[in-house]
Amino acid sequence: MAATAIDIHGLEFRYRSASKPVLQIAELSLAAGENCFLYGPSGCGKTTLLGLVAGVLKATQGEVKVLGEDLRAMSGAARDRFRGSKLGYIFQMFNLIPYLSVRDNILLACRLHPERRQRLGGESLDDAARRMARSLGIENFLDCGVTELSVGQQQRVAAARALLGAPPLIIADEPTSALDAAHREQFLQLLLAQARAAQSTVLFVSHDQSLAPLFERRISLPEVNQAI
Amino acid sequence: MLLLNLAWQSLKNRRISTSLTVLSIALSVALLLGVEALQKSARESFSSTISQTDLIAGARGGSLQLLLYTVFRIGQATNNIKYASYQEWAKHPAIEWTIPYSLGDSHRGFRVIGTDQNFYQHYRFRRNRQVRFAAGRAPATFTETALGSDVAARLGYQAGTKIALTHGVGAAGILDHDDKPFTVVGILERTATPIDRSVYITLEGMSAVHAGWEEGAPPEPGEEVAVKSLSAEQLKPEAITSFLIRCKSRIDSLRLMREISNYSGEPMMAIIPGATMSELWSTVEYAETALRIVGGFVIVVGLMGMLVAIYTTLNERRREMAILRAVGAGPAKIVTLFVLESLLLAASGCVLGAGFMYAGIQSLQGYVEQRFGLYLRWQGLSQEHFLYMGAVLLAALFIGLVPAWRAYRNTLADGLSVRI
């Protein structure tokens, strides 16, 4: 595994070439296996940074290396493949495809990407989904439609999908903001425990600083983003 | 495979909109295929009305006309030919048999045909089927008549019923031959051809009803010719309208056709039924093409419904697209997903539409045959059908690209975030 999970140098990003830069980061790196709390109020470029790291956006200037690979040098299709097989992504809410069962939602990335499936070892997709669901306490919902779940349960399904197939990097974009305080910490503990077990790096984004003590490392985006 | 499953699940999730879309496509496909089936059945029905007849001969005139009034009881002859001429031709060494037809009268809207025993013996339809009697026998004397099955059924006649003929093919009542009634002695078996809609009498009977009608109008009171007083001379047929010819060898038919056209006795002509029928098809081809174009437009309307059904979901599915992108599905996969949905809808529509047509033909067969004398038949799925369905799928593919393209643009713009 690469020594650094994320390595950013001289990054600049603008949505349109003429507009003001949204992000300007001279230096930002994250060691492999580290879990990191990225803090910032709304509008400071959090989602943009995640888009860049996930390879959905392309840096206007500078270098974005994720898991040792230079995303700027990759084609769009290669970045999609990279994201699907090496990254787990959790949204703030509405993480699930409404017409698929819980099981199919959990297995989505593994089904799309052979590389990720291979990382399951010999385990069958069904067994893997069951194991992951059990460890997150949603085993009983595997065959349910996702609309029958509470928001907290839905977020756990999203976590299960992001964790399955042990992706080296997990990105969570305010996954707990729709949960109440009690569930928030419980969810986070589960997520971090599973990530640790898989030796995955976690980049956790939130505007809620009360969660920060649970992480090994904390970064304040307004401090590193020179565009603001 | 995964994408196909996704497309399927997504359609299943929108059950009502999906089934309505499939239904509208199915109905349009059924219509298009139905037009095709109707056209084929019509041609088949028409063509099978007459078989084993090599030539039809009559007075010189339009060949289509000759075919129509002789075989299909449509329109009227302008001229007759002499019975003597017919007898001369009937003796021709190249001819196996002939069937004389004398037309011009009617009974309550049904055509009356004067013919002889040859008709019952030699006439063939649907390849090799012969005219048979459901009841009774062929008319033998000039006061007897046999009825086609439709005539008997519609008018409720049975053997023994006495009927009066009408001069010309107008409505009954004005110029009735009620001075000389005919007795029904036989009813023909159903054939599902124009044979069912005719009244058959002997050639002598045709002469008899017209005895005293030499001027084409009823005889003056006091000048009527009593049936019993008709002499053998008065019963002898003087003219017929046309006759069917079967050659001993088909090779002779072309030569015979020329011979008849050059006949010195009177102006005559002969036609080959099959050739004239293709002439008929070429004249109705415009109507068929028009129907097909209408069918094509109906398909387009059905597919437009599909476009609307998919397009209106695009906004609410932006979230879904972001999720798919997050798990590493590229824009190409998103496009494929939408195109697959369109194709699934169209394909189900095609299958269901073919089913509709099959069911429609099965259930309407009896009614259509009874009402229009048209035998609808399920011809199986022909190459043409597959061609049509292929075209529908291709159109669906192109139409499906519209929402797919839109989704693709959305995906690129949204990335992993969705502005709702």
- Confidence band (pLDDT; 50, 70, 90) for B99? very high
**Integer Cα distance of B208 and B177 in angstroms:** 10
Residue from the list A83, A94, A95 with its beta carbon closest to the beta carbon of B328? A83
Given this model, what pLDDT does residue A176 score?
Answer: 83
Given this model, what pLDDT does residue B327 score?
Answer: 86
- Confidence band (pLDDT; 50, 70, 90) for B226? low
Which of A53, A89, A104, A161 to mutate against chain B (most B CBs within 10 Å)? A89
Instruction: Reply yes or no on whether the pLDDT at B113 is more than 60.
Output: yes
- Asked whether the beta carbons of A39 and A207 are under 8 A apart, the reply is yes
* pLDDT mean over B384-392: 88
Burial environment of residue B62 by CB neighbours within 10 A (0 to 12, 13 to 18, 19 or more): middle
* pLDDT mean over B326-336: 86
Instruction: Reply yes or no on whether the pLDDT at B370 is more than 80.
Output: no
**Integer Cα distance of B195 and B317 in angstroms:** 63
Q: By a Cβ cutoff of 8 Å, what residues of chain A touch chain B?
A: 47, 50-51, 54, 56-57, 76-77, 80-85, 87, 89, 91, 94-100, 104, 108-109, 111-113, 161, 173
Q: Which two tokens stand for residue B262?
A: 């050059």
Picking from B94, B13, B3, the residue whose alpha carbon sits closest to that of residue B57 is: B94
**Integer Cα distance of B414 and B417 in angstroms:** 5
Q: Burial code of B274-306, b = ≥16 C-beta within 10 A, e = fewer?
A: eebbeebeeeeeeebeebeeebbebbeebbebb
Instruction: Reply yes or no on whether the pLDDT at B419 is more than 70.
Output: no
Residue from the list A97, A113, A173 with its beta carbon closest to the beta carbon of B328? A113
Q: Round the average pLDDT of chain B to a whole number and report it.
A: 86
- Confidence band (pLDDT; 50, 70, 90) for B283? confident
CB contact under 8 A, A91 and B416: yes
Given this model, what pLDDT does residue B291 score?
Answer: 85
Which DSSP letter does residue B224 get?
P
Residue B420 at interface with chain A, using a CB cutoff of 8 Å: no
CB contact under 8 A, B416 and A51: yes
- Confidence band (pLDDT; 50, 70, 90) for B170? low
* pLDDT mean over B220-244: 77
CB contact under 8 A, B416 and A47: yes
Instruction: Reply yes or no on whether the pLDDT at B289 is more than 50.
Output: yes
* pLDDT mean over B297-309: 87
Domain spans, chain B: 2-46+284-414, 49-283
Given this model, what pLDDT does residue B345 score?
Answer: 92
Cβ contacts from A onto B, under 8 A: 72
Q: Give per-residue pLDDT as tens, A134-163.
A: 888 888 888 888 888 888 888 889 889 998
Which of A22, A95, A108, A173 to mutate against chain B (most B CBs within 10 Å)? A108
AA identity, residue B371: R
**Integer Cα distance of B96 and B94 in angstroms:** 7
Question: What is the least distance, in Å, from the CA of A81 to any CA of chain B?
Answer: 6
Return the minimum-mean-pLDDT range out of A11-15, B65-69, B155-159.
Answer: A11-15
**Integer Cα distance of B337 and B3 in angstroms:** 6
Given this model, what pLDDT does residue B215 score?
Answer: 62
Closest B-chain CA to A145: B13
* pLDDT mean over B72-95: 91
Q: Supply the ipTM of this predicted assembly.
A: 0.87
Closest B-chain CA to A106: B327
CB contact under 8 A, B330 and A80: yes
Given this model, what pLDDT does residue B333 score?
Answer: 87
Q: Which residues of A touch B327 (CB under 8 A)?
A: 83-84, 89, 108-109, 112, 161
Q: Give per-residue pLDDT as tens, A193-206.
A: 888 888 899 999 88
- Asked whether the beta carbons of A197 and A131 are under 8 A apart, the reply is no
Burial environment of residue B181 by CB neighbours within 10 A (0 to 12, 13 to 18, 19 or more): middle
- Confidence band (pLDDT; 50, 70, 90) for A1? very low
Q: Which of residues 309-348 of B touch A (CB under 8 A)?
A: 319-320, 322-333
Q: Give per-residue pLDDT as tens, A48-107.
A: 888 889 888 888 888 888 988 888 888 888 888 888 888 888 888 778 888 898 999 999
Question: What is the least distance, in Å, from the CA of A181 to any CA of chain B?
Answer: 25
Q: Round the average pLDDT of chain A to a whole number and report it.
A: 86
Q: Which residues pair with A217 in a beta bridge?
A: A36
Given this model, what pLDDT does residue B127 score?
Answer: 82
CB contact under 8 A, A89 and B320: no
Closest B-chain CA to A89: B326
Given this model, what pLDDT does residue B144 score?
Answer: 93
AA identity, residue B19: S
CB contact under 8 A, A51 and B322: no
Q: Which of residues 13-32 of B touch A (CB under 8 A)?
A: 13-14
| Model pTM score | 0.74
Given this model, what pLDDT does residue B420 score?
Answer: 46
Per cent of chain A over pLDDT 70 is 99
CB contact under 8 A, B415 and A51: yes
Closest A-chain CA to B12: A99
Q: Which of residues 159-178 of B touch A (CB under 8 A)?
A: none
